[in-house]
Amino acid sequence: MRETLMLANNWKFKAVEEKDWLPAVVPGCVHTDLLKNGVIKDPFYATNEHDLQWIDKIDWEYESTFDVPRSLLSASSIELVFDGLDTYADVSVNGVHVLSADNMFRTWRADVKAYVKEQGNSLHIVFRSPVREDLPKIDALGYNLPASNDQSELGGLGDNKISIFARKAPYHYGWDWGPRFVTSGIWREARLEAWSESVITDLFVEQNEVTAAEARLTLHVEIESERDWNGTLSLNADGLTWDSQVAVKVGKNNVSVPVVIPNPKLWWSRGLGEAYLYSFKAELLAGERAVAGKTVRTGLRSIKLVREKDAVGASFYFELNGVPVFAKGANHIPNDSFITDITEDRYRHEIASAAESNMNMLRIWGGGIYEQSIFYELCDEYGILVWQDFMFACSMYPGDEAFLANVKAEAEQNVKRLRNHPSIVLWCGNNEIDSAWAQYDETGGWGWKKDYTAEQREKIWADYEAIFHRILPEAVESYAPGIDYWPSSPLVSVSGDINQHAHPLTTEGDVHYWGVWHAVEPFENYNLKIGRFMSEYGFQSFPEYDTVMTFATEQDLALDSKIMRAHQKNGDGNRLIKQYMDIYMNEPKDFPSFLYMSQVLQAEAMKMAIEAHRRKMPYCMGTLYWQMNDCWPVASWAGIDYYGKWKAMQYYAKHSFEDTILSFDRPEDGRLDVHLVTDKLDALSGTLNVALYDFSGVRLREDSASIALQGNSAAVVYSLNESEWLGGRKASSVVLHVEFVPGVGGESAISKQFYFASAKELQLESPSITVKEVAGSAGAAYELTTDNLAKQVWLKAEQAGRFTDNFFDLMPGVPKVVQFVNREVGEALSKPAAPGAIAVSSMIDYLAENQVEVV
């Protein structure tokens, strides 16, 4: 059997030209080791990022000593294994060079049987500066390649964009939400692996055909052996066993065994059923003795991307176990600029937050990393579908033989590593490159093509096609059969003409809509510019005051201060937030109020977008906003800030992503339509209660109707004439309250408010909000009541955790019960807890005086 020795201890590091060694942590990186040793200040504080750009321009070395147990030393094969070396590294064992690495996304192995001894082994690694390594490649190529988000100027490199040469996380070079920290280090596990006789190196569960009646699978077992021998290959899962006799040859062996599981428990995404996981175990037996073994966990499901021509274009949706799934979720970026600082519990917080926000999909964006295994394991457990990008984004890449071979090995390794995860439902070649370059549209794209000669353009596009139309799809087809590949997001289709490139009104493929935000289009355009699958769109906000104060002081609290600008990586970001706030909101009374209102502004924008997309099902079958999370404390598009705090948007998304929602649409003819949308597969029926209230809670008009809706669909279930319902009253002084009460099945009622006037026009009066502990809740649940309408009520707790709802509207006469929850380390679910002191506020508390407009 395989024996493993972890190499996580006794590490030290230093700059190559220095003499003194410092203690190091593995896995880790130079930046975090320098910080732990007090050599540098907190990289995230103030403008410290700007002062740390020297780190990536020198070479660093790491060294460790280790002993090898006799049982391991006596094995026939001993390999040194690095799951991640970042990035240009030369490795020696006991003074002998054993490998050189040039790709942080690959696993690196070296046979060290001849070099290791029982005691006093030395392991030495030199990490060459990524900057010094790659700068000469620009001269060799003869021109810069486009890399819009590479913050080369901040890095002291002028216009030299070197990120495209390194197979390294693109966001390390800066992005429009993240800092530039070009790291080096041992970023994943380092170990010795030893075995004798034979070892099972891989077990792949290929899902040929999966239905509720039976799962037809092929179990592919990869075996390496030091000699020829005959024995038994025993395979089992959930009490089922399949044994076969095998003749193992010296070297590499591949054995494929077809199996059938009758009446399988299917794996479902969140909201559709249980995310059931099987454990498959393979063992090689010599008689009764186990020679080698391997276990993998997977879920049985059928999955396909459905792209079928229809009357208006072509569909784009995922079909899981025969059911069309409306994808609800967000784009995921790495949770930290320093990947090894991300704990398992931080991953669990993100994935549990996604599930608790009623999401069923996350897109792993192509400018980060192929995530740690725990990320996918959690998605498997929580039923979160994964759209997986390869790690290419917003850049054109070289196409020399060595680079393409490196990409090929990277793709094959990562597809093989991740292919048993049922959560992964799509591999996507890259982020936004097809639309940015726009090969077939001379005036389209991001303006890149104009900087190159015709000959250069031909070469750049040929290199693009080599990677994204040949190497990557071949890797997916060969190593993850049955999973679809999509060359670039967004894309219409691979047509080889101008119709290939996506735009906001395309009726095929997926869409990134950035008219709201970058082009300063009104929020209302979210209702108009809807594609078949909205894989990116977003709006920024600031984190809350407490988070801002982790990188700033009171003197820095101004939009144009040096530090606030340093923590806003989108050049126009602060101006755009202010510009949109002037359009849609009243003036905040101070900077902390501005922070609060920026979150409400973002939340309202995303609510409008998400619900517009959901109302358009089945035409639109996916909505993934930008972005789920942050990699440092910053103003960004995230719904959850760097410290895991839910912004207003995350609470709004939780409601807009509920399996069944009410939503409002306002056609141009003075009509208000009430939509009912459900992702549940069963039909709905019940009563819709519609009532008009003034802001003190007086009911002014009401109506009710019996309604019905098919499962997994959306429809208008009620319409009203606005002027008739207002009856001469000011639109700015009333609110419509709509409630759907299901008739059968024990489902809870759902409700929603609609305002006939914009937020800045509402005639709000100061509410008196009462917060009362719910008896028997052990201090975890509270009932809120108010005498006047309270908009965007924000509850803050003394203790760490969050409330089950926040930034909600509280209506007079409609009590609201919320619970405080937290998640202990390692816990899967949030649990009720006591919040300590509670502070409660609402929108009117953050407005400058005389900012409520009287209509």
Measured in residues, the chain has a length of 855
What span, in angstroms and rounded, lies between the C-alpha atoms of 599 and 300? 40
Helix (H) or strand (E) holding 137: helix 130-141
Q: What is the dihedral of CA 482, 486, 487, 492, to 10 degrees?
A: 140
Distance of CA 217 to the CA centre of its chain: 30
Shortest CA distance to 853 belongs to which of 711, 733, 734, 717? 733
Q: What are residue 125's DSSP bridge partners? A: 62, 91
Helix (H) or strand (E) holding 318: strand 317-320
Helix (H) or strand (E) holding 595: helix 591-615
SS3 419: coil
What span, in angstroms and rounded, lies between the C-alpha atoms of 345 and 374? 10
Shortest CA distance to 711 belongs to which of 194, 324, 144? 324
Strands (E), 643-749: 660-665, 671-678, 684-694, 699-709, 713-721, 734-742
Whether the ω angle into residue 27 lies within 30 degrees of 0, i.e. cis, is yes
The structure tokens listed for 178 are: 């993240």
307 in Cβ contact with 598 (< 8 Å):
no
What span, in angstroms and rounded, lies between the C-alpha atoms of 358 and 113? 51
Amino acid code (one letter) for 210: V
Q: Which residue has the tokens 């050049």?
A: 571
Whether the ω angle into residue 490 lies within 30 degrees of 0, i.e. cis, is yes
Q: What is the DSSP string of 46-100?
A: TTHHHHTTTGGGS-EEEEEEE---HHHHTSSEEEEEES-EESEEEEEETTEEEEE
Strands (E), 403-553: 424-428, 484-486, 511-512, 534-536
What span, in angstroms and rounded, lies between the C-alpha atoms of 813 and 789? 10
803 in Cβ contact with 322 (< 8 Å):
no
> What are the CA-CA distances from residue 98 to residues 191, 251, 340 (Å)?
14, 21, 25
SS3 619: coil
What span, in angstroms and rounded, lies between the C-alpha atoms of 766 and 758? 18
Amino acid code (one letter) for 711: G
The structure tokens listed for 777 are: 């809740």
The structure tokens listed for 391 are: 């790690």
Q: What are residue 9's DSSP bridge partners? A: none
SS3 122: strand
CA angle 217, 222, 225 (to 5 degrees): 150
What span, in angstroms and rounded, lies between the C-alpha atoms of 469 and 475? 11
Alpha helices in 754-834 (DSSP H): none
What span, in angstroms and rounded, lies between the C-alpha atoms of 20 and 727? 81
Strands (E), 419-512: 424-428, 484-486, 511-512
CA angle 382, 283, 277 (to 5 degrees): 15
SS3 452: coil
44 phi and psi, to 5 degrees?
Answer: -90, -10
102 in Cβ contact with 79 (< 8 Å):
no
Residues with catalytic roles: 432
Helix (H) or strand (E) holding 468: none
678 phi and psi, to 5 degrees?
Answer: -140, 140
